[in-house]
Amino acid sequence: MTTEPTHLADLTATRLTAGYAAGAFSPVEAARAALERAEAAQATTNCFTRIDAEPALAAAGESAERWRRGTPAGPLDGVPVTVKDLILTRGTPTLRGSRTVRAEGPWEEDAPSVARLRESGAVFLGKTTTPEFGWKGVTDSPRHGVTGNPYDPRRTSGGSSGGSAAAVALGAGPLSLGTDGGGSVRIPASFCGIFALKATYGRVPLYPASPFGTLAHVGPMTRDAADAALMLDVIGGADWRDWSQLGPATGSFRAALTDPVAGLRVAYSPSLGWDVPVAPEVAAAVRSAVEVLAKLGAHVEEADPGIADPVSAFHVLWFSGAARVVEHLDEADRALLDPGLAEIVAQGAGYSALDYLAAVDTRMALGQAMGRFHDTYDLLVTPTEPITAFEAGVEVPAGSGHTRWTGWTPFTYPFNMTQQPAATVPCGVDGDGLPIGVQLVGARHADALVLRAAHALYEAGAAAIPAPPAP
């Protein structure tokens, strides 16, 4: 066994399991390397709410024995994984970034995605930070403080799955489970230089049901598209607790990665046709990624989907969900909330049923428009974010004129409303060395196509960016 533990922390899940199978190293060595990185990442970025070293090493030891016998429990046996602290994990508090959640429990259930990972033999390292109840696109909370960016801890990691993105970027496990209700795996993945997928709604079962309704998805956050496909094969397994889950996938997402992108009809939309000031370095990096798809044989043309910004309708749906999240709290507990969350809760509580239904009408029209668009184009490509990571600890960039997080992330929340698969791939860095992401959006149920196109960018070297400084 010649591989050093520090190098093990940099391997993808695919390479780890290949190494276990070959006897090159063990799950215990991989867990120790990931835990070492987790402690260092926590010290520099505050990306964990808890690190569970002893249970992780015990699970890794059990995995090592299974690999020794040649009977791994599943395709992710022995792979270190982290879980966003909005997702239930049996025996571990899920505090949701809120001082209003009591840690005592009992914590007796795994969420469906966690249960599937556990069945596959994954090794859980700990829980990652989130803003309170995942309400905004940056990661800071009254309970756990501010999570910094692995490339510059003074900058935001994005959110709401910011802890997961920072952990993956810094080698604290190659896989993390995040949630995405308006961009919450894609925003931090873009800011932190990793891959993330918001799969078609229902592809990954969700329990308990989100108070934000069918805007909310669970998705993989990984080092590359191949790992995300492998992870989706596992976490997409059926679970009766989610009545809105989709039926079984028609095949393996991992196996479909090698299908060609040549011939795909790709629409490149620099700003969705809206008046969005995209930073020049972002625009140039995204265009370069699109040119790679063209060189690979995709038929690319510049085209906008012809939709209006649905932000007002999204606010009605999102803010109403926030009001529902805290409906059970008494006055004393409400005084403990993030002030920004308290503001949108008050706004959401003021909407009428007719306001909500009008927002649903807007959502349905948006979904129909995108369905029509995908009759012509297989894939829509946009920037993931028009900007790179800004100052940590604030909801909006200084001097931006925005009042809410949705103002600076116009390319993500529309596709929660339409329930389409959308992924972000790193495609460059700006002058400060901060990552830039390109977003790939497919028609509903076209998850395999989105993963295939993303994988092609990785294979072509378009997603290669400098690693963050060692923590």
Q: Which residues are catalytic?
A: 84, 160, 184
What is Dmax (Cα atoms) for the chain? 65
Query: Cβ contacts of residue 25 below 8 Å, gap of 6+?
Result: 1, 3, 8, 19
What distance in Å separates the CA atoms of residue 208 and residue 88, rounded to the nearest whole number?
Answer: 8
- Strands in 9-63 per DSSP E: 48-51
Do 349 and 342 form a contact (C-beta atoms < 8 A)?
no
Residue carrying structure tokens 């920004």: 340
Nearest to 163 by CA among 138, 180, 143: 138
What distance in Å separates the CA atoms of residue 165 and residue 169, rounded to the nearest whole number?
Answer: 6
Do 122 and 81 form a contact (C-beta atoms < 8 A)?
yes
13-22 and 27-45 helices, crossing angle to 10° = 150
Tokens, residue 428: 């460059």
What distance in Å separates the CA atoms of residue 471 and residue 468, rounded to the nearest whole number?
Answer: 8
Do 420 and 370 form a contact (C-beta atoms < 8 A)?
yes
- Strands in 38-193 per DSSP E: 48-51, 80-84, 123-128, 140-141, 145-146, 148-149, 152-156, 175-180
Length of the chain: 471
| Coil/strand/helix, residue 186 | helix
Residue carrying structure tokens 């925005």: 402
Rg, Å, the chain Cα set = 21
| Coil/strand/helix, residue 378 | coil
What distance in Å separates the CA atoms of residue 256 and residue 263, rounded to the nearest whole number?
Answer: 16
List, in sequence order, every residue forming a beta bridge with 180; answer none if it has no partner: 217
Q: What are phi and psi of 377, to 5 degrees?
A: -125, 135
- Strands in 252-400 per DSSP E: 265-268, 299-302, 379-383
